[in-house]
Amino acid sequence: MTATEIRSGVLRQRHAAEIEAILARYPADQRRSAVMPLLYLAQHEYGYLHAEAIDEVAEILGISGTQVGSLVGYYSLYHDHPGGKVRMQICTDLPCALRGAESFAREVCQNLGIRLGETTADGAVTVEEVMCLAGCDKAPMFQVQDDHGIHYREHQTVAAALEWVEEVRRTHGR
Amino acid sequence: MAAEHILLRHLDVPGLDRLDVYLEHGGFAALRRAVTEKSPQEVIELVRASGLRGRGGAGFPAGVKWSFLSADVFPRYVVVNADESEPGTFKDREIMERNPFQFLEGVAICAYAAQAATAYIYCRGEFWDLAAALEARIAELRAGGLLGKRLFGTEFSLDIFVHLGAGAYICGEETALLESLEGKLGQPRLRPPFPAAKGLYALPTVVNNVETLANLPPILERGAEWYRTIGTKDSPGTKVFSLSGHVVRPGNYELPLGTPFRTLIYEHGGGIPGGRAIKAILPAGASAPMLAATDEVLDTPMDYESLPKVGSMLGSASIIVMDETVDIAWVVLKTTRFFKHESCGKCTPCREGTFWMLQVLERLHDGGPAAGQVDLLNAVAKGIEGKCLCPLGEFAIMPVMSGIERFRPDFAAHEGNGK
Amino acid sequence: MTAADVHLTIDGKPVTVPAGTLIVDAAKRLGIDIPVFCYHPKLEPVGMCRMCLVEVGRPARDRTTGEVPLDEQGNPKLFYNVKLETACTTTVGEGWDVRVTSDKALAGRKEVVEFLLTSHPLDCPICDKGGECPLQNLTLDHGPGTSRFVFDDKIRLHKRVPLGDLIFLDRERCIQCARCIRFQEEIVDDPVIGFYERGRKLEIVTFSEPGFDSHFSGNTTDICPVGALTTTDFRFGARPWELNAAASICPHCPVGCNLTLNTRREAESGGAEVIKRVMPRQNEAVNETWICDKGRFAHHFASSPTRLQRPLVRREGRLVEATWDEALQAAADGLRAAGSGLVGIAGGRLSNEDLFVFRRTVEAAGGSAMLDSRMAGGDLAAHFGLGRQADLGRLGAGDVILVVGADLHEEAPIWWLRVKQAAQRGASLIVAHPRPTRLDGFAAHRLVFEHGRSVEAVLGLASHGAEGKGLDRYGHAPELAPAAHAIAEARDFVVFFGGEGLDGAGTQALAQACGSLLAATGHVGKANSGLVAVWPRANDQGAWDLGFRPIDDVGGALRQARAVYLAASDPLGDDPSTQVALDSLAFLVVQELYLTATAERAHVVLPAQSFVEREGSLTTGEGRVQRYYPAVPPLGATRPDWWIAGALGARLGAPEAPASAAGCFEQIASAVPSYAGISYAALAEVRPQWPLVGGDDLYFGGTAYANSQGLGVKRSTGAEVDSTMKIAWPAPPTPPAGSGLLFVPVVRLYDRGTTVLPSMLLEPHRSRQQVELNPADAHALGVGDGARITFEWDGRAETAEVAVVDGVPEGIALVPRSSGMSLLAPTRGRLRTSAQGADR
């Protein structure tokens, strides 16, 4: 993705129909409401939300780059730095922690050779700890955030989690 | 006693998440009757008479909330609070996943009562797959003439859209939710004005929780008096209790309000694993004072009016159980870390105070200099109390102060560790 | 006292205020300062900082009986809310009692201060804000003596974050009050700073390119209640208690913002007093409490090392230093010889005193005095000007504002702000401009026309009115009728006219059309209606009031003259083609701040003082006469322009000039009817203004300067004297003939003009030697952004870079003024690219 490509509106070129559909959900004079779904769109296209992505979304909505960029910093699911191919977000909040989530997270990280918050050396997985995901009865559990969305993996064991990481590696190529 | 499920009906009727099955089982009859036979005002009256209280945590009577909508100001909006982010809460998720059409029918009934033509479901971003499924079901309803223009041959039109949040617990606070939906930073607004007067886009808006709305089809079908036969006088109806933590069978349990803790934890939840002793209960996720699991507490009915008598609140009824192996100081570290992470930062006491409390708690746990730190922790919590712009800060101090008050030895143990 | 007034007590003291007043403001009226950080009287209250928590007692109403129970004294029983409430978001209620200094309120205040201090660094010894910092004051009043917060836990953040290149942010000092963000969003519609992250990590960021891209960014450093936001200009410059303050008026544009110049004696300047910073001075009728960044940062021209300090006389082909006597004698001798072949040209930067004496001197010597300006219509602006009580701040619903041919955001930013606010208060704004401007988003009506056809647009509006017979051919565009209807229904109607796309004659016609429109719609002689010219210079209106008229063709005037006396005018610097005419003059005297290109060719150069070294008066575009005072001692041997002109005049037979600026003004008041009755004393009068600023208090926080040295006085307008409707529809000027692009000079706020160039910190914002083209035109020409081209007109050729900009209309090339290109009026021309010689 070169700078000129971004400046010429990649999002508009590749996702015109989806952008229109998103805008149509909100009143015509309240297009700013579309900023959150558009940020997801941009994040899935670019992997993370850099300055150009923010400018593109701002331009589509007719608001300032700061009004868009500000949201990227505020919300936990928007990322301003690249991560691994997938983000493995493990809930270690109280109810999950009462059912072994903290040791689960620790062991997964040890096996992957990284600390919480870091990315594996091959760039496949970023492991993060997050707050309650409403999966408290299925702990330990984590969610996977990638370029397609967010998906839950619950009732986890360390072995199952590591096997899943292997699958990720196979799918995305080493 | 296998009481029938009103909200978790999918446990009684397999396949209820399919539209054909839902319709077969009386689905959308309530909406049809409301729209074709009642006026919006009558629906409001009916819901008010049922005594249905908001199920998101505040427990405010739903029908009363709707009656605050500014007369003569249009358009109006219905906004569903599906931002379920309170630790230990997973009831809205199950309702939306497994009994989605009853929920959507409830949204429609609410929209009719509020005379709104558009409803937004603000769904936490982590519920990505659930939201996609919901959108598919909404599309099915549109295709089936149950959503869209001029429903059931009347002038009532409604469309429902799903709007995803992006990972901020504070957006579960209704005014912060509206700010977020408007595309701004999800920080709470000043109240007054309340959303019923100036809500989404400064227009009259009803904001209700998923579970609250899922109650509407049964209430419309079977009437207010029927609803009042369940639960208690001040807390009618059933509640979906999310049970988590140190129990054999964590999960959602729909029980009449007024059911005691003991019944939920031991009869339904299977008690504490390994037969260990129960030590503490957080009855409303992290957002209420912690209870020492005494007999008195275990026998307390779980409803809005009884919890305050034992020094806590029902809130969202997210029951987190902790057994004797738990260090309450560690529990409070977890809840404080949660609130500090989720604090929006707008007001000084919460922004600085949750940060400060966490520093003290971490030092207590890391073995740093800790003399007098428990009293300090309590003082900081007291300093936050009553000063915050929104309830988050006020809730953040509840586990801290109740933890210190009711489980002081757990904290004192850490104080001795440092220099 | 009206029925809508509310009576309450605050700390036991009774006060009566209008309904809707906030508790903080009600307390202020009693002289009780409730501490605030996030609250600012010109911003929407947000109740974020929690500093203003007070106890509120309200008459309790029995829910069953609906009655209010009384106490033993027969007063309504008050119920005090258990929770403290924010005074900044709560409007007063009848019979309330607010406790500001109760134990509970003080405990709350103490706690909030303690919370702020857990993150705030102990920077006072090195912080710019020390000494004028409300957090500092509050800490002394309410803070804990010792900290309970473990120092090692304290958050560490970046302390020198550039937000753009004019403003620095210290993240540790920021208390997240959001005043800066809200100012940018609410007041100036530049949401280019915002919050990032959340909770304790909440920090200010900017995503604009360049960062913090706003013409008003400096105001955030005034309202920042701590030392988090500082300007590059003043950062680490001085301690507030070392500073002296002088009242001044901004010299850059016709808004006439009131300034306070802070100065300090410094060793570095040999013990001389130097200007450390420029701050707004409150004048609610002119600039409220704001100034634009040009006024704030473009003051360095006054202290530039290249300023002329001594008189110069040409001897043996070279300019050498001379005494005043020598120089004045040489000048007088030279000018006297010219007789009626003397031409005097003065610039609109000069004060009323300077201009008055200059003209008298030139005329006494048999010559004629002219104004160096390509914009006209000032006589009509004087006749149809705003009335004595006029105040843009009172325009709102029911009023109409028309802005034609001017881009206020670039030409007069504070007028842009005031007009925008009027529109937000409900005034119907009509923006009539050939290209998009920053006012468009606030306009109820948007009229678009080709460059050069501003007069037709106004005639078009007039054609829909009762007096518009014969103007039908101008009235076809569909947007005209609703706009004209709005004008017809308007209670007050204000017209701003500017010179974009027109030359002198064109603006004269435009002024004529606008004035007639005011007359035709019955808005002449009304308190808050009238005509305002958006002049290029600060005192162009004063010059017109004093009888100056501009010359469109400077070169022609120079060619016909035998001797020329210039003050604040640099024809050669503006237009290289005047060189021949200048060099063939018999005698040239230049009175200037710098050795300009013209001055280098003079026979005598007389060094003038800048506005910071002397006093004088300027007349704003709204017709307000305002006085400014000296801030620093005069540089070298410089003298005020009026003194120089007077001394010269004395040697040329003019009446003896007064010995002071005040004396000059007395003579103006006698000689010019519209200035009758105004004096320096009257100009120095002040009245209490709201909001109250600059006190010792903790309210409104930090740096703000009350106005103790003069609010100025409106001079009268012709219409006030003679309100007969003078309707005369002018014939519209013919736009320049020919094919090819129309080159149009436009104003940019930061240019390369002599009063702006010396401020190096503005370099990244400055207009460049650039020609702006529409994308289609650029494409047809085969040039892209940054391409070097040559543009030719009237037999001249100059080089420039191309900038491709969406907002430029097709067929137009915009040429920023004072940016290195000498185009002064709209002209047809050609663009050539280097290689093929292809042109358009």
* Partner-chain residue, chosen from B183, B245, B342, that has the shortest CB–CB distance to A131: B342
* Residue A98 and residue A162 share a domain: yes
- Better pLDDT: C625 or A174: C625
How many other CB atoms sit within 10 Å of the CB of residue A155?
11
pLDDT of residue B418: 47
For residues C649 and C362, give the distance between their C-alpha atoms in angstroms, rounded to a whole number.
Answer: 7
pLDDT greater than 80 at residue C335: yes
pLDDT digits (tens, 9 = 90+) for C265-307: 999 888 889 999 999 999 999 999 999 999 999 999 999 999 9
* Average pLDDT of span B206-216: 98
**Close Cβ partners of C456 (under 8 Å, ≥ 6 residues apart):** C449, C474, C732
Shortest Cα distance, chain B CAs vs residue C514, angstroms:
39
Residue B250: closest CA among C43, A94, C148? A94
- Residue B82 to residue C675: CA distance in whole angstroms: 69
Both tokens of C298, joined, read 């473009």
A70 at C interface, C-beta within 8 A: yes
- As a whole number of angstroms, the distance between CA C127 and CA C230 comes to 10
Angle at C471 between CA C474 and CA C376, to 5 degrees: 80
**Within this chain, do residues A32 and A67 fall inside the same structural domain, yes or no?**
yes
Residue A79 lies in a domain: no
Domain C-terminal end among A41, A74, A107: A74
Residues on chain A touching C806 (C-beta within 8 angstroms): none
Is A81 domain-assigned? no
- pLDDT higher than threshold 80 for residue C125: yes
Of the residues C163, C189, C196, C202, the best mutation for testing chain A's interface (the one with the most A CB atoms within 10 Å of its CB) is C196
Confidence check: pLDDT of A7 > 70: no
Does residue A166 share a domain with residue A106? yes
Q: For chain A, give percent helix, strand, coil, nearest 5.
A: 55, 15, 35
Contacts of C48 in chain B (CB under 8 A): 346-348, 389
CB contact under 8 A, A66 and C197: no
Chain B nearest C-alpha distance from C75 (Å): 28
Instruction: Say if residue C729's pLDDT is above 70.
Output: yes
Across the interface, whether the CB atoms of A64 and C208 are under 8 A apart is answered yes
Q: Which residue has the tokens 């079901």?
A: B137
Asked whether residue A119 is assigned to any structural domain, the reply reads yes
Q: Is the pLDDT of residue B417 over 70?
A: no
Q: Which residues pair with C264 in a beta bridge?
A: C274
Largest Cα–Cα distance in chain A? 52
For residue C200, give the chain B residue with the closest CA.
B351
- pTM given for the model: 0.95
With respect to residue A112, please indicate whether it lies within any of the assigned structural domains.
yes
pLDDT digits (tens, 9 = 90+) for C668-705: 999 999 999 999 999 999 999 988 887 766 556 556 68
Residue A174 has pLDDT above 70, yes or no: no
Partner-chain residue, chosen from B128, B183, B242, that has the shortest CB–CB distance to A136: B242
Which pLDDT score is estimated for C66?
81
Residue C2 has a pLDDT of: 57
For B267, which DSSP code? I
Share of chain A above pLDDT 70, in %: 94
Residues A129 and A105 in one domain: yes
Which residues fall within 8 angstroms of residue C807, CB to CB, at 6 or more apart? Answer: C435, C436
B390 pLDDT above the threshold of 60: yes
- The pLDDT-based confidence of A1 (bands split at 50, 70, 90) is very low
Chain C interface with B: residues with Cβ < 8 Å: 45-51, 53, 82-84, 89, 108, 111-112, 114-116, 118-119, 148-150, 153, 155, 175-176, 178, 194-195, 197-202
Domain boundary among A44, A74, A104: A74
Average pLDDT, stretch C428-441?
97
Residue C43: helix, strand or coil by DSSP? coil
- Compute the distance between CA of residue B320 and CA of residue B335 in angstroms, rounded to an integer: 12
Calculate ∠ Cα C299-C301-C307, nearest 5°: 150
Q: What percent of chain B stands above pLDDT 70?
A: 98
* Whether the predicted pLDDT of C838 surpasses 50: no
Average pLDDT over residues C325-346: 93
Q: pLDDT-derived band of residue B169, with 50, 70 and 90 as boundaries? A: very high
Instruction: Write down the pLDDT at residue A5.
Output: 42
Looking at the structure, do residues A66 and A97 belong to the same domain, yes or no? no
Percent of chain C past pLDDT 70, that is, above it, reads: 97
Report yes or no on A38 lying in a domain.
yes
Query: Are A66 and C205 a contacting pair at CB < 8 A?
Result: yes
pLDDT per position as a tens digit, A85-108: 999 999 999 999 999 999 999 999
State whether A64 and A138 are in the same domain.
no
In tens, the pLDDT along C516-527 reads: 999 999 999 888
Residues 6+ apart with CB under 8 A from C198: A73, A74, B168, B170, B342, B343, B344, B345
Among B185, B252, B334, beta carbon nearest to A74: B185
Omega before B75 within 30 of 0, i.e. cis: yes
Residue B166 to residue A36, Cβ atoms within 8 A = yes
Of the pLDDT bands very low, low, confident and very high (cuts 50, 70, 90), residue B419 is: very low
**Which residues from A are below 8 Å from C207, CB to CB?**
51, 54-55, 58, 64-66, 68-70
Instruction: Give C98→chain B minimum CA distance, Å.
Output: 17
pLDDT in tens, B100-154: 999 999 999 999 999 999 999 999 999 999 999 999 999 999 999 999 999 999 9
Flag whether A149 is in a domain.
yes
Q: pLDDT at position A4, please?
A: 41
Helix (H, G, I), strand (E, B) or coil at C220: helix
> Is a pLDDT exceeding 80 seen at residue C726?
no
- Whether A40 is in a domain gets the answer yes
Same domain, A60 and A91: no
- Residue in C106, C115, C138 to test binding to B, most B beta-carbons within 10 Å: C115
CA distances from C237 to B280, B291, C260 (A): 59, 58, 16
User: How many Å lie between the alpha carbon of C84 and the closest alpha carbon of chain B?
Assistant: 7
| Three-class secondary structure assignment of A69-110 | HHHHHHCCCCCCCCCCCEEEEEECCHHHHCCCHHHHHHHHHH
Phi–psi pair at C60, nearest 5 degrees: -80, 135
Q: How confident is the model at residue C833 (pLDDT cuts 50, 70, 90)?
A: confident
For chain A, say whether C461 makes contact (Cβ under 8 Å). Answer: no
**Least trusted range by pLDDT, from A60-69, B354-363, C335-344:** C335-344
ipTM: 0.94
Is the pLDDT score of B15 beyond 80? yes
Question: B225 vs chain A: nearest CA distance in angstroms?
Answer: 33
Residue C703 is predicted with a pLDDT of 63
Give the β-pairing of C741-746 and C318-321: unpaired
> Would you place residue C72 in the very low, low, confident or very high pLDDT band (cuts 50, 70, 90)?
confident
Q: Which of A23, A39, A74 is the last residue of a domain?
A: A74
Residue A2 clears pLDDT 50, i.e. is over it: no
The lowest-confidence range among A71-75, A103-107, B310-314, B363-367 is: B363-367
Subunits with 3+ Cβ pairs within 8 Å of C are A, B
The answer on A93 and A42 residing in a single domain is no
Angle at B201 between CA B196 and CA B205, to 5 degrees: 25
Domain count, chain A: 2
What is the overall mean pLDDT for chain C? 93
Mean pLDDT of C799-814: 94
Q: What is the mean pLDDT of residues C565-580?
A: 94
* Chain A CB contacts of B90 below 8 Å: 134-137
Does one domain contain both A91 and A65? no
How confident is the model at residue B193, as a pLDDT? Answer: 94
Are B352 and C153 a contacting pair at CB < 8 A? Answer: no
The pLDDT assigned to B410 comes to 95
Are residues A93 and A65 both part of a single domain? no
Residue ranges and CATH numbers for the domains of chain B are 9-228 (3.40.50.11540), 238-323 (3.10.20.600), 328-417 (1.20.1440.230)
- pLDDT at C389 exceeding the cut of 90: no
| CATH code of residue A7 | 1.10.10
Which tens digit of pLDDT belongs to each residue from C581-613?
Answer: 999 999 999 999 999 999 999 999 999 999 999
**Chain A residues near residue C195 by CB distance under 8 angstroms:** 70, 73-74
Q: Is the link from the previous residue into C736 a cis peptide, with omega within 30 of 0?
A: no
pLDDT tens-place string over residues B270-312: 999 999 999 999 999 999 999 999 999 999 999 999 999 999 9
Higher pLDDT: B315 or C61? It is B315
> Searching chain B, which residue's CA lies closest to the CA of residue A24?
B161
To test the contact with chain B by mutation, choose from A26, A137, A142 the residue with the greatest count of B C-beta atoms within 10 A, namely A137
Other CB atoms within 10 A of residue C426 CB? 12
Q: Does B220 have pLDDT greater than 50?
A: yes
Mean pLDDT (whole number) for A73-95: 97
Mean pLDDT of C60-70: 83
On whether residue A12 sits in a domain, the answer given is: yes
Structure confidence at residue B365 as a pLDDT band (50, 70, 90)? very high
Pick the residue of B334, B335, B346, B354 with the most A CBs within 10 A to test the interface with A by mutation. Answer: B334
Best B79, B91, B128 member to test A by mutation, with max A CBs in 10 Å, is: B128
* Cross-chain CB nearest to C115 (options B168, B352, B363): B352
The parent domain of residue A130 ranges over 86-171
Contacting residues of C for B341, CB less than 8 Å apart:
199
C4-37: per-residue pLDDT in tens? 899 999 999 999 999 999 999 999 999 899 999 9
- Cross-sheet strand order for the sheet of C400-404: C445-447, C428-432, C400-404, C493-497, C530-533
List pLDDT tens digits, range C260-276: 999 999 998 888 899 99
A–C interface: beta-carbon pairs under 8 A: 44
Q: Is the dihedral of CA A13, A17, A18, A23 positive or negative?
A: positive
The DSSP element (H or E) to which C823 belongs, if any, is: none
Q: What is the per-residue pLDDT across C476-495, written as a single tens digit (0 to 9) for each?
A: 999 999 999 999 999 999 99
User: Quick one: A96 and A157 in the same domain?
Assistant: yes
Residues A54 and A96 in one domain: no
Give residue C547's region: left, alpha or beta (phi > 0; psi -120 to 50). Answer: left
